Amino acid sequence: MSSEPDTKIIDLIQASAKEALTEGGAGFQSLEFFPPRTDTGVMNLMDRLGRMKATKPLFVDFTWGAGGSTADLTLDLTTRTKKEHGLVPNMHLTCTNMPVDKIDHALAQCKEHGIRNIVALRGDPPTGSDTWEAAEGGFTCALDLVKYIRKNHGDYFGISVAGYPEGHPNRIKEVPGGVESLSEAEKGRCKISQDAEGKEVVTVCSDADFEIEMNYIKEKVDAGADFIITQMFFDPAVYASYIKACRDRGIEVPVVPGLMCINAYGGFKKMTGFCLTRVPPELMAKMEEMKEDEKAVKAFGVDYGEKMCNALLAAGAPGLHFYTLNLEKVTVGILDRLNLLADYKMAEREEDTAQMIGMIKSSKKSPEESGPENGAGVTPAAPSSLVQTRDEERVLTPA
């Protein structure tokens, strides 16, 4: 039996924008999760969703594991979230290991369950592979997937795609000439770090490569994408510059900032290194200062998240999309500061552990077996399934 079709997210975003204008609202919030590896992890995640739905997210995302490894579970979580919790799901769909018949099956299942919202991505290489290859008879990039959905399903599905305010990680390269050799635009999105010997390293997506990125995102929008969800970033000025770059090129769809909450020092360092993310000097200095104090890092994560969210909303962000890492405390803390918590109640047991580190490092015990806030559902060795490569080349939930 078919379920009642969801409202398309673009319509919800437009309604939220109208409400913000007429009633002074602060914009919406949405949440991204990923499929846990065990049944216990799935149970913990569904419990978490039962609590976090009280924050009234506009929609919730579920990622599609690297190489399509969680395809069935992603669809199951998506349908359960709609049926059991009454939330609007936005299901990731990637091209990896997905010939056209599997794409057709996934979309048919979505229609059967009334799921109308898709995040169209290229996806990451299969686990254990460093290179991405199209499946036989499949698609080579997110643009192909957007075109296919629109050609075969018309306007039924709402489609979101990924955007890269700092440029795609595959286009971010080391600059031998240092900061002095960069243009003003490049200086605004470059990353300055130090190698093991203390030497300064500057990396950036060059202006020429950034133009390629912008041309590609415009192609995805022109092909039928309704809105953009960005890769994670930690400098609000980067988002403002990206919005201007979009509007200058005639890209007028909503651009929703994707936010990775700061939960732990180790995870922050590894994720920003993995994604080549720009980190403002004052933020890095603060993280270094408190790196041995896990509780202080979490508290700072809430403080910084609040400050960043307010800056993004002031810059015109239509809403805030949180890459939760299947965690709860920091995201909820930020929402509380923004007066977006609604009727949420924290779980009775909330344990503090290095949950983000567990996302990167393999461990003998699966984190989702250990309790509500120690990393329930975190997949230890698969960071790319969390901040998922969003198109043919993105290295968070949100190619």
The identity of residue 54, as a single letter, is A
Cα radius of gyration (the chain): 20
Q: How far apart are CA 115 and CA 329, in angstroms?
A: 29
Q: How far apart are CA 360 and CA 122, in angstroms?
A: 22
Q: How far apart are CA 190 and CA 183, in angstroms?
A: 10
Question: Which three-class secondary structure state does DSSP give residue 248?
Answer: helix
Pinpoint the alpha helices (H) of 223-264: 236-248
CA angle, 60 as apex, 219 and 50 as ends, to 5°? 175
Q: Is 252 part of the annotated catalytic residue set?
A: no
CA angle, 322 as apex, 319 and 324 as ends, to 5°? 165
Residue tagged active-site, from 4, 19, 23, 32: 32
199 by Cβ neighbours in 10 Å (0-12 / 13-18 / 19+) ranks as: exposed
Of 391, 397, 386, the C-alpha closest to 169 is 391
Residue reference for tokens 């133009």: 211
Q: How far apart are CA 80 and CA 62, in angstroms?
A: 11
Entry field: residues in the chain: 399
DSSP 99: B
Q: How far apart are CA 349 and CA 217, in angstroms?
A: 43
The identity of residue 342, as a single letter, is A
Active site residues: 32
